Amino acid sequence: KHAFWDTQPMPHGSRENHPEGPIVPNRPVEEVRSEPYTMPGGFEWSNVNVGDPAQRDELYHLLAQNYVEDDECLFRFEYSQEFLMWALTPPGYRDDFLFGVRSSSNKKLVAFISAIPAKVRAYQNELPIVEINFLCVHKKLRSKRLAPVLIKEITRRVNKTGVFQAVYTAGAVLPVPVASSRYYHRNLNPKKLVKVAFTRLNPRQTMARMIKLYRLPEQPDTKGLRPMEEKDVEGVHKLLVSYLDKFELKILFTKAEVAHWLLPREGVINSYVIDKEGDGIVTDFCSFYHLPSSILNQDDTLFAAYSYYNVATTMSLTDLMRDCLILAKQCKADVFNALNLMDNEEFLKDLKFGKGDGCLQYYIYNWACPEMPPGKVGIVLL
Ligand code: NHW
Ligand code: EN5
């Protein structure tokens, strides 16, 4: 059924038949093929240096015009240039893991894929992995089996560094997810969301009622909740690492990674802490990233904030996340999105999130382990 995926080291059919561990054994690096896979005629491999504004601009446009859409093609993700810079240059990133395909004639960028290094724990096993993201093939080159070549080439380059597992998420169901989660949406701007058909009025609802239903205070309720700063890195690292320990699939963040992924960047990532005594001990933490979508049949943008990592210890997670909604609204987000993973089920209903029409599947490449419910997943990919 899957001409490509059926050849890959993934669980096929039932997950339960494999012993926990690699599906094909890890190999000595010298045995990994040294030659890049051959591109179909007229195309060539090209690393994309996102630190170079011109190349970053090319990547931005490839994705803005060809990346992920919802099932009715009303919206398309529009990752900003600053976001791409953040997403693709964490500690330990490598230039040769950020690459694409160019058309030989005019050198136009027509496809892309990325890997960034990380460490995860899956059940009891700690694994060096890469996170795969931003796989994209230009609309005019679809269904020509280019994606499998990109995937094989990134696998080869990653294997060459002695890494044999990867984590990725996708809306598509492929062989075989380790977990499956759902998107939920919290309306922050009813007029706009109805206008752009992100949501609609129920037959017995009026716009006035909808506005009242989703009204929020102007300011967060919690005293002492303030933007995260450099001096909070240690405290946030401690809090986050200990919180994530209860999940069966989680990132093992270093301090440098906490600094990279969580320090605020305008229009990209917002993080807030409570350090009540001012002694560096962070007791509560919340964060969201900004991923707008272009609205395909209107000349407009949907501003969306996505729940990232959140930890509450001196208040309920629901109270913390209510403040998080208020802060996202202050940042001009039209909608606040969250997946039903980690402890998110705790607040979704109380805070008036509605179930979206999209799912997100979690995968671990070349690793067999039991499937887990979304509430055991402690990783959010961008
Ligand atoms: S998920 C977002 C993926 N991107 C998009 O949806 C953007 C819009 N779509 C496109 O650009 C986040 C194209 O449709 C793509 C497929 C490029 C998706 N993952 O070239 P063909 C990520 O970036 C399979 C994996 O003809 P196309 C995660 C499909 O099932 N495979 O199709 C990426 C079929 O295989 P099959 C996907 O439409 C993780 C084959 O591609 C897929 O022109 C990558 C058809 O290829 C998807 N999202 O291009 C895996 N969508 O066996 C990393 C379709 O069924 C693995 N396919 O015949 C790990 C590697 C590293 C390991 C290191 C140890
Ligand atoms: C790799 N890191 O489908 C990520 N979004 O629900 C790539 N739906 O926005 C994989 N269809 O439900 C990404 N409104 C996979 C997701 C792709 C994008 C996607 C969904 C997630 C989405 C919206 C708009 C639907 C438009 C028509 C949606 C209804 C919300 C409403 C809020 C109020 C209460 C009822 C529901």
pLDDT number for residue 12: 86
pLDDT number for residue 6: 96
- Residue 153, pLDDT above cutoff 90: yes
CB distance 382 to ligand 1 below 6 Å: no
> Minimal CA–CA distance to 65: which of 296, 273, 230?
296
pLDDT number for residue 16: 64
Domain ranges in the chain with CATH number 3.40.630.30: 5-179
Distance 166 CA to ligand 1 centre (A): 14
Parallel, antiparallel, or unpaired for β 284-290 and 293-295? unpaired
Alpha helix (H) ranges present in the chain? 53-66, 81-88, 146-159, 190-195, 207-213, 233-244, 255-262, 317-330, 345-348
CA 48 to chain centre: 20
Distance 347 CA to ligand 1 centre (A): 33
CB distance 174 to ligand 1 below 6 Å: yes
Tell me which amino acid residue 137 is: V
pLDDT number for residue 212: 98
Class of domain 5-179 as given by CATH: alpha beta
The answer to whether 170 and 354 are in contact (CB under 8 A) is no
* Ligand index nearest the alpha carbon of residue 114: 1
DSSP secondary structure letters along 169-192: EESS--S--SEEEEEEEEES-HHH
Distance 170 CA to ligand 1 centre (A): 8
CB distance 39 to ligand 1 below 6 Å: no
Domain ranges in the chain with CATH number 3.40.630.170: 181-378
Could you report the per-residue pLDDT of 9-25, keeping only the tens digit for each?
999 876 667 889 999 99
Per CATH, the number for 181-378 is 3.40.630.170
Q: Provide the terminal-to-terminal Cα distance of the chain, rounded to the nearest Å.
A: 29
The ipTM, to two decimals, is: 0.99
Atom 20 (ligand 2) nearest CA:
358
Q: Compute the mean pLDDT over every residue in the chain, rounded to the nearest whole number.
A: 97
CB distance 216 to ligand 2 below 6 Å: no
**Percent above pLDDT 90 for the chain:** 97
pLDDT number for residue 271: 98
Mean pLDDT of 105-124: 98
User: Tokens at residue 6, please?
Assistant: 């059926």
Per DSSP, the three-state class of 133 is: strand
